[in-house]
C-alpha cells in the first residue's frame, strides 16, 4: 500500500496520521521466506518540517513463523517495531546512497508501507530462533526430530586417526 505524501506539502508543520494495512502475506528474508502469522495495521504519523523535509514516527506489530534453528519446527516470533526517521525528498536517490541513507520505500512523493515494513524487519531479525532452550534438534543421519523420538542411529564420531584401520575392517566384512 502506498501513501501519497504530496498532500503534506501544502503548509509547513502539517501533520497527518496514517493507518495502513500490511498487504504482504510472507516476508522474503535473505535465508528464506517466512509466513506472516498475524499483523496489525501500521500507524504512521508524518509531519512536514518545511522545504520537502518530513519526519516520520510510527509502530509496526506483526508475527512471523520462523523455523527453529535446530529442529526446523515453525516458531511464532512477535515483532513490535518503533519507526523514527526523517526524510529529505529534495535529495536524489544517488545523494541518499552517498550518505548511506538509502530509503527504497520512497519513490517520488509516495511511501511504500510494505517496503518500509520489510526494511524494518530485515534490521530486526533475530540471529537464532529456538522452539525452546533445550531443543535437541534433528538427527544428522536420518532426519528424525530428536525432541519427539529417539532414532537409534549411531551418532558417535570416529577418531580420524583410526580411519585406515577402519578401512581394513570394512574390507574383511565384504569378503
Domain locations in the chain? 2-124, 139-175
pLDDT band of 48, cuts 50, 70, 90: confident
What is the β-pairing status of strands 2-4 and 32-39? unpaired
The pTM score is 0.75
**How far apart, in Å, do the first and last CA atoms of the chain sit?**
70
Compute the average pLDDT of residues 109-126. Answer: 89
Distance CA(131)–CA(72), nearest Å, equals 9
CB-based burial label for 96 (10 Å; 0-12, 13-18, 19+): middle
Residues in the chain: 175
Q: How confident is the model at residue 174 (pLDDT cuts 50, 70, 90)?
A: low
* CA 11 vs CA 43, 64, 161: distances in Å: 22, 39, 78
Q: Return the sign of the alpha-carbon dihedral for residues 90, 95, 99, 104.
A: positive
Burial of residue 117 (number of CB atoms within 10 Å: 0-12, 13-18, 19+): buried
In contact, 121 and 79? CB cutoff 8 Å: yes
Res. 90: pLDDT tops 80: no
Q: Indicate if the alpha-carbon torsion angle 158, 161, 162, 166 is positive or negative.
A: positive
How sure is the predictor about 59, in pLDDT bands with cuts at 50, 70 and 90? very high
Amino acid at each position: 500500500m502506498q501513501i501519497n505524501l504530496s498532500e503534506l506539502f501544502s503548509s509547513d508543520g502539517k501533520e497527518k496520521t496514517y493507518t495502513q494495512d500490511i498487504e504482504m502475506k510472507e516476508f522474503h528474508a535473505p535465508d528464506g521466506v517466512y509466513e506472516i502469522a498475524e499483523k496489525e495495521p501500521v500507524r504512521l504519523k508524518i509531519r512536514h518540517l518545511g522545504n520537502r523535509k518530513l519526519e516520520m514516527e510510527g509502530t509496526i506489530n506483526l508475527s512471523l513463523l520462523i523455523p527453529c534453528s535446530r529442529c526446523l519446527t515453525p516458531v511464532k516470533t512477535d515483532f513490535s517495531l518503533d519507526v523514527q526517521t526523517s526524510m529529505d525528498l529534495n535529495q536524489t536517490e544517488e545523494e541518499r546512497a552517498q550518505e548511506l541513507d538509502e530509503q527504497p520505500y520512497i519513490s517520488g512523493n509516495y511511501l511504500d508501507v510494505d517496503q518500509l515494513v520489510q526494511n524494518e524487519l530485515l534490521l530486526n531479525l533475530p540471529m537464532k530462533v529456538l522452539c525452546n532452550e533445550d531443543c535437541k534438534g534433528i538427527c544428522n543421519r536420518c532426519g528424525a526430530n530428536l525432541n519427539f523420538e529417539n532414532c537409534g542411529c549411531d551418532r558417535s564420531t570416529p577418531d580420524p586417526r583410526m580411519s585406515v584401520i577402519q578401512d581394513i575392517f570394512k574390507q574383511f566384512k565384504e569378503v
